Chains A and B, each alone.
Chain A
């Protein structure tokens, strides 16, 4: 307990950055992932191909490589400077969006084709059919896999530590610089992650599942 109290500044700023990385990356990944899922079921072959290539290319690249690109490769391209935090959010979002897209696409496949045929038959466009009829029904079955993706994202934020963003995964290093005992510090970090998942994400998942089940 002493490790935690004596170093609350370190813990606080670490988890604050974890929170920022998580919230922004989850937000952008959800938007981008939904768009990509839409592309992958689009009637236009070029859209489908672009979506498929993106998902397969990025999903099969290790996250460390993606973040390394933004931390080490990107600055050499002579493009506008990105600070580490922003670059980490971009990398995490691009990476997580592929998993979001796959979760949503599998949800789309659970909605019967009759639903989109009926939508098209009354004159709704592809975008209207997707946004008004298919996605609202797909999101229900998507909640559990989506939360698995977000829990993975929460843990993946620690990878950003290796690239200069001081978040919770970096607390251990900071503590060891301060000469604190290593093991208790590590255990506290792990424990707080568990609390974040069980205390925030899991209840939120349960709430959404329940809310959308009633609406059926």
Chain B
């Protein structure tokens, strides 16, 4: 799993801190994600995984420290921030497809409104993406008419349509019925194989083993452990990681 030639750093978090009132939700976070790397973030509920993920496209602001993408500090606001977000795809636990727009419109909206792509080009590209995630024949439907697994695959297509440099996934399969989890994970594994840079918050060990280059274990706002999936799942170092793994393995 080690790269013979080190890839350039794409996302870098340096000494990042964030509080929610008295709660120190991110504590001195340092994290580098190389181009093409797939990093799985794992840890107990409330440990700050979502918050970490959301700071990378500035859906959450940080108190101090720095976050850079391709060496550039995240813009604070306005058009530049919007442009940065266009380069960072995000997939949410609850899909968040635009409820009043068709599946096709969900995927074409960003390219048309943010990138100025023509409607016909955007639709052609969107249909190809929908085909690729296996929901091509649903293009004319509204999100509510699709199953959760289908909606999440559309959400991935919507993010991909922006041709992002990095994709963030925040527990993309946690809201799904068990029988739909794999159809979404399969799409993500494909993406990983194609070289997409990904930060994935998930407890799906199968995905981590199959696709991740690195596992980052978080607890109480801190990164407690970082290693390869195999190393992490078979030989965790910290007490907290051992404790956590024993819990998810027995469930």
Contacts and interface: CB of A to CB of B under 8 A. Distances in A.
Interface of A: 43, 112, 114-115, 117-125, 128, 132-133, 136-137, 215-216
A117 B96 contact: yes
B244 interface: no
B90 interface: yes
B96 A123 contact: no
A118 B92 contact: yes
B134 to A, nearest CB: 21
B94 A114 contact: yes
B99 A137 contact: yes
Given A124-B82, A132-B109, A215 B96 contact: no
B98 A125 contact: no
A133 B106 CA distance: 10
Contacts of B85: 120-123
A121 B82 contact: no
Sorted nearest first, the 6 A-B pairs with minimum C-beta distance are A123-B86, A122-B110, A118-B96, A114-B96, A121-B90, A123-B114
A124 B110 contact: yes
A128 B98 CA distance: 13
22 contacts: A112-B96, A114-B94, A117-B92, A117-B96, A118-B97, A118-B98, A118-B158, A121-B85, A121-B90, A122-B85, A122-B89, A122-B162, A123-B82, A123-B86, A124-B82, A124-B109, A124-B114, A128-B113, A128-B114, A137-B99, A216-B100, A216-B144
Interface in B100-116: 100, 109-110, 113-114
Contact of A120 (B82, B94, B113): B82
Contacts of A215: 100
Nearest to B88: A121
Nearest to A140: B100
Given A114-B94, A136-B100, 11 more contacts: A112-B96, A115-B96, A117-B59, A118-B98, A118-B155, A121-B90, A122-B89, A122-B158, A123-B114, A137-B99, A216-B144
